[in-house]
Structure 1
């Protein structure tokens, strides 16, 4: 049986950016939030205000950092490079439709990106984050990005990296990873702005 670590791990995907609106792959391009993205991120603050997190980790990219700050958890957050979004390499800034004109059956979770990261490299980063948060004796919050958090959800419950394809994740949403009798479990996924107590 797996050893239960923190009571829960709350995953927060950053707010809206210009490229999340257009559907462009945004890996390492350091875009700010849109004004709507900021407004929705501010709405996370009252949802998270009553919770005490033993650790808050955040991607170094400004869209995640700004979401963390607007959500009221920026002061105690630690920057965690392993929470960076997938490095899309040659696919950075391109939409899935544009990529599929050249590679019709491409799937990032299975195929990775030319000139960028492989699924194995992303999985290794995510597994380090999981190991780190499971060592914390209490709730943890992670502010990061769509694809890396989808891989994290899959790896949390023991699925391979390709399992991330089965988890859709919108901007400015909350996901709670938890435990069921010592077994890693997902309590809720892709919830817009609300957490049960």
Structure 2
């Protein structure tokens, strides 16, 4: 690739979903409940260190939740900035429940298309993740964020200028790396859900 072409394609926002917890393993919705990583989650978080160490990040941000902060630490980032805008979607009354359990009373429920009583709306999630997009766009260089499944999927679609509901199309596993960037002026997905 020529120097001119490489300047047009860059990975600007790197996102990492936290390592496995007991609730992520069992599919329970986890927002404000502050769970530790499982042993497998800690091991997978350590595996992130190699690929991420090779990249020069100008800013590293993390959700305030323990599972995200611990993943950042195990991945080799002991100095990070906590940003509450990266917290997981607040599920309200559905905290700790699985989708199957929620659908017993609300058939076809999805966080992407339905309300979560006592929790955040899609508009509220979009508003705070738009601030993360703005932070990443404002710096000259790469930003790395550590956060959660739904909030990172929402972040990706906001990067693309899409409605939060489109996040349902982006499956995201624990302890994976994804890269969002710019290609000829258009914000794009460069890589998604990559295991280290």
Q: TM-score, normalised by structure 1?
A: 0.93
2:14 is paired with a residue whose SS is: strand
Kept after mapping to 1: 8 A contact 2:60/2:145: yes
Q: Does 1:51 align with 2:55?
A: yes
**Cα distance in 2, alignment partners of residues 88 and 169 from structure 1:** 18
5 Å matches for 1:14-33?
A: 14-33=18-37
Q: Using structure 2 for the length normalisation, give the TM-score.
A: 0.94
- 1:7 deviates by 4.4
Aligned residue pair count: 189
Q: Which of 96, 99, 114 is 1:96 aligned to?
A: 99
RMSD: 1.4
Contact 1:16–1:37 (CA<8 Å) still a contact in 2?
yes
Task: Decide which of 115, 121, 129 is 1:112's aligned counterpart.
Answer: 115
> Residue 110 of structure 1: CA displacement?
2.0
Confirm or deny: 8 A CA contact 1:110 1:161 kept in the other structure: no
Could you list the per-position Cα deviations for residues 106-139 of structure 1 after superposition, in whole angstroms to 9, with x for gaps in the alignment?
1101223101101110010111110111101100
The match for 1:137 is 140
SS of corresponding position for 1:109: coil
Q: Gaps spanning 5+ residues in structure 2: where?
A: 1-7
Partners of 2:11 and 2:103 in 1: CA distance: 41
